[in-house]
Amino acid sequence: MKITDSQVLHVAGLARLKLDSSEVERFQRELNSILAYMEMLSEVDTADAAPLHHTFPMTNVFRPDAAKESQDISDALGNAPQHEDGFIVVPKVIE
Protein backbone atom coordinates (compact mmCIF):
# COMPACT_ATOMS: atom_id res chain seq x y z
CA MET A 1 0.00 0.00 0.00
CA LYS A 2 1.41 3.36 -0.99
CA ILE A 3 0.52 6.65 0.64
CA THR A 4 -0.51 9.38 -1.81
CA ASP A 5 0.04 13.12 -1.62
CA SER A 6 -3.65 13.64 -0.97
CA GLN A 7 -3.58 11.21 1.98
CA VAL A 8 -0.58 13.03 3.49
CA LEU A 9 -2.38 16.35 3.08
CA HIS A 10 -5.56 14.89 4.60
CA VAL A 11 -3.70 13.65 7.70
CA ALA A 12 -1.85 16.97 7.94
CA GLY A 13 -5.19 18.76 7.80
CA LEU A 14 -6.55 16.59 10.62
CA ALA A 15 -3.48 17.49 12.68
CA ARG A 16 -3.90 21.17 11.77
CA LEU A 17 -0.50 21.22 10.02
CA LYS A 18 0.40 23.23 6.96
CA LEU A 19 2.93 21.42 4.80
CA ASP A 20 4.78 22.73 1.77
CA SER A 21 5.45 20.46 -1.22
CA SER A 22 8.88 19.33 0.01
CA GLU A 23 7.43 18.35 3.39
CA VAL A 24 4.60 16.45 1.71
CA GLU A 25 7.15 14.48 -0.32
CA ARG A 26 9.29 13.81 2.76
CA PHE A 27 6.35 12.60 4.86
CA GLN A 28 5.10 10.49 1.98
CA ARG A 29 8.51 8.75 1.76
CA GLU A 30 8.67 8.27 5.53
CA LEU A 31 5.14 6.90 5.80
CA ASN A 32 5.73 4.57 2.86
CA SER A 33 8.91 3.23 4.51
CA ILE A 34 6.96 2.61 7.74
CA LEU A 35 4.29 0.70 5.82
CA ALA A 36 6.95 -1.31 3.98
CA TYR A 37 8.48 -2.27 7.33
CA MET A 38 5.07 -3.32 8.65
CA GLU A 39 4.55 -5.48 5.57
CA MET A 40 7.93 -7.10 6.24
CA LEU A 41 6.87 -7.83 9.83
CA SER A 42 3.64 -9.43 8.64
CA GLU A 43 5.73 -12.03 6.77
CA VAL A 44 7.22 -13.35 10.03
CA ASP A 45 5.77 -16.72 11.04
CA THR A 46 4.26 -16.33 14.51
CA ALA A 47 2.10 -19.46 14.47
CA ASP A 48 4.11 -21.19 17.22
CA ALA A 49 4.63 -18.06 19.35
CA ALA A 50 2.63 -17.93 22.55
CA PRO A 51 0.81 -14.70 23.35
CA LEU A 52 2.94 -12.50 25.59
CA HIS A 53 1.43 -10.12 28.09
CA HIS A 54 4.67 -9.21 29.84
CA THR A 55 8.35 -9.79 29.17
CA PHE A 56 8.90 -11.19 32.69
CA PRO A 57 6.97 -14.10 34.18
CA MET A 58 4.88 -12.15 36.65
CA THR A 59 1.85 -12.95 38.70
CA ASN A 60 -0.46 -10.65 40.60
CA VAL A 61 1.76 -8.33 42.66
CA PHE A 62 -1.05 -6.58 44.52
CA ARG A 63 -1.46 -6.88 48.26
CA PRO A 64 -4.40 -8.86 49.57
CA ASP A 65 -7.61 -6.86 49.80
CA ALA A 66 -8.28 -6.65 53.52
CA ALA A 67 -10.53 -4.31 55.47
CA LYS A 68 -8.78 -2.14 58.04
CA GLU A 69 -9.44 0.97 60.05
CA SER A 70 -9.26 4.22 58.09
CA GLN A 71 -7.42 7.33 59.19
CA ASP A 72 -9.07 9.36 61.90
CA ILE A 73 -10.77 12.48 60.48
CA SER A 74 -8.97 14.79 62.90
CA ASP A 75 -5.61 13.39 61.75
CA ALA A 76 -6.60 13.81 58.09
CA LEU A 77 -7.66 17.41 58.62
CA GLY A 78 -4.64 18.21 60.80
CA ASN A 79 -2.46 19.32 57.86
CA ALA A 80 -5.22 21.12 55.97
CA PRO A 81 -4.79 24.90 56.01
CA GLN A 82 -8.58 25.32 56.37
CA HIS A 83 -11.34 22.89 57.21
CA GLU A 84 -14.99 23.16 58.04
CA ASP A 85 -17.57 20.55 59.14
CA GLY A 86 -15.13 17.70 58.47
CA PHE A 87 -14.18 18.85 54.97
CA ILE A 88 -11.08 20.56 53.58
CA VAL A 89 -11.86 24.10 52.38
CA VAL A 90 -10.33 24.93 48.98
CA PRO A 91 -10.63 28.02 46.75
CA LYS A 92 -13.61 28.05 44.43
CA VAL A 93 -12.50 27.34 40.85
CA ILE A 94 -15.85 27.20 39.06
CA GLU A 95 -18.17 30.20 39.03
The predicted pLDDT at position 95 comes to 76
Instruction: Name the residue among 12, 11, 2, 9 with its Cα closest to residue 38.
Output: 2
Domains in the chain, CATH or no CATH each? 5-42 (1.10.20)
Whether the CB-CB separation of 27 and 6 falls below 8 Å is answered with no
- Which residues of the chain are under the pLDDT cut of 50? none
The predicted pLDDT at position 28 comes to 96
Whether the CB-CB separation of 86 and 73 falls below 8 Å is answered with yes
Q: CA of 30: how far to CAs of 16, 35, 41, in Å?
A: 19, 9, 17
The predicted pLDDT at position 84 comes to 92
The predicted pLDDT at position 22 comes to 94
The predicted pLDDT at position 46 comes to 87
Q: What is the pTM of this model?
A: 0.48
The predicted pLDDT at position 52 comes to 79
